[in-house]
Amino acid sequence: MILILTPDAHPDSPDYQQLLAHLANMPGISTRVHTEAGIEQTLTEIYLIGNTMALPLEDMQSLPCVERVVRVSEEYRVLGRHKGDDRPTHFDYNGVRFGQDTLHVFAGLCAVDTPEHVEMMMQALRDHGQVCTRMGAYKPRTSPYAFQGHGKACLPYVFDLAGKYGIKVIAMEITHESHVDEIREALNQTGSPTGVMLQIGTRNTQNFELLKIVGRQQDFPVLIKRGFGITLDESLNAAEYLASEGNRKVVFGLRGMKTNMADPHRNFVDFAHVPVVKRLTRMPVCIDPSHSVGARTCSPDGILDIMHVTAQGIIAGANMVLVDFHPVPGKALVDGPQALLLRELPQFLEDIRIAREAYLQRAALAGRYRQDQEK
C-alpha cells in the first residue's frame, strides 16, 4: 500500500510526526519513505510493507498528511501502474521531460572513437534540432580482445563538445559502479555542460548489485535495457530494483531478443511490447532499432529495416529511440555495420515524425470510440 502525502508535507510538522508514530505502532507493518523533489513541490510517498490487505482504505485515507491511498495490486510496487493510481508517468532531467507521452531521439555513436567523430555527430544533431545523443565510453564486448571503449579518458571532451552543441542528455552505458563516479567527476571537472542518462545494457539487466548501486544514486536517470534472454516480467523486476533503491527516473528499453528465430536480424524485434510495458508500468519506453536489426539491410520499398522497425515502435507509442549513427561507419570501432549515416539523419527524423503523427491520430481515434461507448 502507498500513502501519497499532501504536497510539501514537512517531516518536522506535528501532523507528519503523528502519522509516522501511528504507522510505527501498526503490528507487522514496516514503512519506507520516498521523497521526490520536483521543480514546484516535493512529493512524499510512504510504502507500507506487510499484510496491508487487512488495512481499511478509509482509515488510512483519514490519517494526517495523507492525500491519497493506493493499494498495490501488481508486482512492480514502485514503477507499476496500480488501480486508481494517477501518479505521474514522467520525470524531468536537465531541462528535458521524459514521459509516457513524450518522444526523444538519442542518435549517436555506439562507441566514442575520436573527438572529430564526436564533434561531427553532435554538430549534425544540433543542426537538426536534437538535444539528446548516445555516446558509449564503456563497451561490454563479447571478445576480451575487442576494443572496450575509451573509458574515462574520453569523458571530458565528450562533455565539452556536448555543451558546445547544446546537447542536454547523453545516454551512456556503464558496466561497473566506478563508472558512475568517473562520470560524476568528469562532469564536475568540465562544469557540467551536459547531462548523462546511465544505461544498463542487456548483459547487465540482472546484475542486481549494480542495479542496487545505480538505484541508490539520484543524480542521473537510468535507461535499463530488457535482458536479451529473459522474460519481460524478469526485466521489469530488474527495473524495479532501481526504483526500490530510490531512483525512479527510469526508462525501459526494448532492444530485441537473442534467438536464431530472428535471423537475418541480429535480435528478434520485440517492439509489440511497447504498449505492454506502458500498461504494466509508469515508465517511458525506449526502443533500440540498431541493436535489434544489426545491419543496414534495405527492403524493396527503399526503406532500411532499421527505419521500418523504428516506425513500428513509434506507431505503437514509444517514447525514446536509441540509435547508432556514425560519420564514417567503416572507421567505427564498434557496430559500424548497423550505423546510419549522418546524411540519413534528416530522413530518419522525418520518418519518425510521420510515425509519431500516425500514433497520435490512432490514440485520438481510440479516445473518440471510448467516449462513444461511455455515452
Q: Is 110 in the site for Mn ion (CB under 5 A)?
A: yes
- If contact means CB under 5 to 8 A according to the sort of partner, which of ligand PEP, Mn ion, none does residue 201 touch? ligand PEP
Can you give the length of the chain in residues?
A: 375
Q: Is 351 in the site for Mn ion (CB under 5 A)?
A: no
CB 109, min distance to Mn ion, A: 9
> What is the helix (H) or strand (E) element at residue 211, kind and residue range?
helix 208-216
CB 336, min distance to ligand PEP, A: 13
2 versus 210: smaller Cβ distance to ligand PEP: 210
Q: What is the C-alpha separation between 149 and 174, in angstroms, rounded?
A: 11
CB 206, min distance to ligand PEP, A: 13
CB 109, min distance to ligand PEP, A: 9
Q: Which member of 113, 160, 173, 240 binds ligand PEP (CB under 6 A)? A: 173
Q: Label the pairing between strands 29-37 and 42-50.
A: antiparallel
What is the 8-class DSSP label of residue 223? Answer: E
Contacts of 40 (CB under 8 A, 6+ apart): none
CB 231, min distance to Mn ion, A: 24
Q: Is 121 in the site for Mn ion (CB under 5 A)?
A: no
Q: What are phi and psi of 223, to 5 degrees?
A: -105, 115
- If contact means CB under 5 to 8 A according to the sort of partner, which of Mn ion, ligand PEP, none does residue 255 touch? ligand PEP
CB 112, min distance to ligand PEP, A: 11
Q: What is the C-alpha separation between 339 and 323, in angstroms, rounded?
A: 8
Q: Is 225 in the site for ligand PEP (CB under 6 A)?
A: yes
* Cβ count within 10 A of residue 17: 14
Q: Which member of 335, 339, 342, 355 binds Mn ion (CB under 5 A)? A: 335
173 versus 305: smaller Cβ distance to ligand PEP: 173
- If contact means CB under 5 to 8 A according to the sort of partner, which of Mn ion, ligand PEP, none does residue 225 touch? ligand PEP
Cell of 71: 493499494
Q: Which member of 104, 150, 248, 255 binds ligand PEP (CB under 6 A)? A: 255
CB 305, min distance to ligand PEP, A: 17
Q: What is the C-alpha separation between 370 and 375, in angstroms, rounded?
A: 9
Q: What is the C-alpha separation between 205 and 202, in angstroms, rounded?
A: 5
Listed ranges 164-172, 223-231, 327-335, 346-354: which one lies at the site for Mn ion (CB under 5 A): 327-335
Burial 212-244 (b: 16+ CB within 10 A, else e): ebbbebeebbbbbbbbbeeebeebbbbbbbbbb
In DSSP notation, 129-167 reads: T--EEEB-SS---SSTTS----GGGGHHHHHHHHHHTT-
Cell of 169: 542528455
Cell of 309: 522497425
- If contact means CB under 5 to 8 A according to the sort of partner, which of Mn ion, ligand PEP, none does residue 266 touch? none
Q: Is 201 in the site for ligand PEP (CB under 6 A)?
A: yes
Contacts of 128 (CB under 8 A, 6+ apart): 345, 346, 349
Burial 336-359 (b: 16+ CB within 10 A, else e): bebbbebebbeebbebbeebbeeb
Q: Is 113 in the site for Mn ion (CB under 5 A)?
A: no
Q: Is 136 in the site for ligand PEP (CB under 6 A)?
A: yes
80 versus 108: smaller Cβ distance to Mn ion: 108
CB 141, min distance to ligand PEP, A: 9
Give the count of alpha carbons within 13 A of 296, CB side only: 13
Residue of minimal CB distance from ligand PEP? Answer: 201
CB 73, min distance to ligand PEP, A: 31
Give Cα 327 distance to the centre of its chain.
Answer: 26
Cell of 202: 542487456
- Taking residues 303 to 332 in sequence order and writing x for each that binds ligand PEP by CB under 6 A, - otherwise, the string is ------------------------------
User: Where does this chain bind ligand PEP (CB under 6 A)?
Assistant: 110, 136, 173, 201-202, 225, 255, 288, 291
User: Where does this chain bind Mn ion (CB under 5 A)?
Assistant: 110, 335
